Amino acid sequence: MPPWFLFLAALVFPSAAQPFDADAFDSDNECHLKDCGFNALQHRSRKSSAEQFQALNSSSPSELRIYQWNPHWQCFYLKSQQVCKERAKSLLNQGLRNMRIDFANVIELVDPSYRPPGGYGVLKATCNAKENALLIYDSSRWKPSSRGGSRASGCITHKDRAFNVQMFESLAGSPLSEVVVVGAHYPHHITVPKLRAALAQVVHSTGVQRTIFIGDTNQEHGDSVDVAQALGMPEMPAIASSPPFVSCCHKVNEGFVWKFDRIITNFGSVTEAGFFEVPSWAAPSMHRAVHAKVRV
Strands 211-216 and 178-185: parallel
pLDDT band at 52 (very low <50, low <70, confident <90, very high): low
In the predicted model, is pLDDT for residue 21 greater than 70?
Answer: no
In this prediction the pTM is: 0.82
In the predicted model, is pLDDT for residue 36 greater than 70?
Answer: no
Q: What is the CATH number of domain 63-295?
A: 3.60.10.10
Cβ proximity of 214 and 161 under 8 Å: no
Kindly report, residue by residue over 211-225, the tens digit of the pLDDT: 999 999 999 998 999
Q: What is the pLDDT of residue 253?
A: 86
In the predicted model, is pLDDT for residue 163 greater than 90?
Answer: yes
Q: What is the pLDDT of residue 167?
A: 99
In the chain, where the domains are located: 63-295
In the predicted model, is pLDDT for residue 92 greater than 70?
Answer: yes
Kindly report, residue by residue over 191-212, the tens digit of the pLDDT: 999 999 999 999 999 999 999 9
Residue 213 contacts by C-beta under 8 Å, 6 or more apart in sequence?
A: 182, 184, 227, 228, 231, 233, 262, 263, 264, 265
In the predicted model, is pLDDT for residue 244 greater than 60?
Answer: yes
Kindly report, residue by residue over 133-148, the tens digit of the pLDDT: 999 999 999 999 999 9
In the predicted model, is pLDDT for residue 169 greater than 60?
Answer: yes
In the predicted model, is pLDDT for residue 19 greater than 70?
Answer: no
Q: What is the pLDDT of residue 174?
A: 79
| Number of other residues whose CB lies within 10 A of the CB of residue 236 | 11
Q: Which residues lie across from 138 on neighbouring strands?
A: 120
pLDDT band at 7 (very low <50, low <70, confident <90, very high): very low
